[in-house]
Amino acid sequence: MGGDFAPVNEIEGALLAALEKTNELEVYVVGKTNTINEILKKKNSQPDNLFVVNADDVISMEDSPLDSYKSKPNSSLNVSLGLQKDKEVDAVISIGNTGAVLAHSVLRLGRIEGINRPTIGAMFPAPDGNIMVFDVGASVDCRANHLYEYALMGSIFFSHIFNVKNPKVGLLNIGEEKTKGNELTVEAYKLLENSKLNFIGNIEGRDILFGKADIVVCDGFLGNVLLKFAESILGILKARFRTHSEKNIFNKVWVGMMYGTLKKILADFDYQYHGGVPLLGINGVCIIGHGKSTPLAVKNMIFRAMEVVKKDVNKKIQEGLSVNS
């Protein structure tokens, strides 16, 4: 019930997923039953593997993540996590208040043993392959061992979901040398260097989009600012082309002709393109998406969650913790 167009896009996405994977997927749509059933009725479609579960409370973008845990016990988020806690479902996806998803997941499902800080990873634009940044906002004041945990969880997620053996881990810094940076990165460098991860050293801001590392590790404050900055690039380019096209009719026609090529070349700058991102480190599976996610994006998030469950990423994180420590 938390997305910008809730619950329409959530339901349409759930329908797409349920219809595409009839035999291997059960989708539970959690929220106000009346509203959900009305939409399903209009769609004239309720596949056998789609179930509706009632939840009367709605967490808004303005709600405090922590307060809403107590004040809205019957939120769609909390009821969904309850289903996962009770092993009725294997994963939860949400396009609502990210802070609430994070806080409620930790409170309701707990953390993986040995993990101090769960992390949210994000996909960055990459024409071929994938680039992920950890953390993009789960924690804002980090210590070095948290960065190490992000690198470990990110590597395991990345290698299993994208089938890349030993993905390259880069520590986001202001210079390449080992001694560069602030207290946090100097300390984190040592931990990463002594781990069994495929640590390629420090990388700089300019290296990210060129894919120097598969996994970029930084504190959640920096990652969050950077993610939002990166997400703004497409809008900035669009606005500039619009301004240019409005100058005269020739420009208008010309920009119109360029549009298709630009759209193709910059497709992955559209955050819709990547679907959801994982919340790693909790005792469960949770995929988080943009509030504006389209039904297609919601469907892809569900499939991503299926993959994380099937490949038992959490178990592999636990194994990784013991191997690397």
Q: Which residues would be at the binding site for a second copy (CB under 8 A)?
A: 125, 127, 137, 140-141, 172-174, 181-183, 185, 204-210, 218, 220-222, 224-233, 235-237, 239-241, 243-244, 254-255, 258, 261, 264-266
Say what the alpha-carbon torsion angle 220, 225, 228, 232 is, to the nearest 10 degrees: -160
Instruction: Provide, rounded to whole angstroms, the least separation between the CB of residue 228 and a second copy.
Output: 3
Query: Closer CB to a second copy, residue 225 or residue 323?
Result: 225
Name the residue nearer to a second copy (CB basis): 228 or 315.
228
Three-state secondary structure of 145-173: HHHHHHHHHHHHHHHHHCCCCCCCEEEEC
CB closer to a second copy, 164 vs 186: 186
Smallest distance from a second copy to CB 185, Å? 8
Q: In the complex, what is the shortest distance from the CB of residue 222 to a second copy, in angstroms, rounded to a whole number?
A: 5
| 52 vs 222, beta carbon nearer a second copy | 222
Q: Cα 267 from chain centroid?
A: 18
Return the structure tokens found at 37: 């059933």
CA dihedral for 92, 115, 182, 206, sign (positive or negative): negative
| Least gap, CB of 235 to a second copy (angstroms) | 8
- Nearer Cβ to a second copy (90/204): 204
Phi, psi angles (nearest 5°) of residue 127: -70, -40
Non-local (6+) Cβ contacts of 53 within 8 A are 28, 29, 30, 33, 79, 80, 83
Q: 42 or 228, CB closer to a second copy?
A: 228
Q: How far is the CB of 148 from a second copy (least distance, A)?
A: 18
Cβ proximity to a second copy, 44 vs 261, nearer residue: 261
Beta carbon of residue 189, minimum distance to a second copy (angstroms, whole number): 14
92-94 β-sheet, strand order: 92-94, 286-288, 277-280, 119-124, 131-134, 215-217, 169-172, 199-203
Distance, CA of 76 to CA of 3 (rounded, Å): 11
Task: Report how far residue 140's alpha carbon sits from residue 270's, in angstroms, rounded to the nearest whole number.
Answer: 25
**Minimum CB distance to a second copy, residue 307 (Å):** 28
Three-state DSSP at 249 gives helix
For a second copy, the closer CB: 90 or 231: 231
CA separation, residue 51 to residues 15, 33, 40, 84 (Å): 10, 10, 11, 15
Closest approach, Cβ 208 to a second copy, in A, equals 6
- Measured from the CB atom, the residue of 140 and 323 that comes closer to a second copy is 140
As measured in angstroms, the least distance from the Cβ of 258 to a second copy is 5
d(CA 223, CA 147): 12
CA distances for 310 relative to 72, 94, 263, angstroms: 31, 19, 34
Six-digit token string for 194: 């002594």
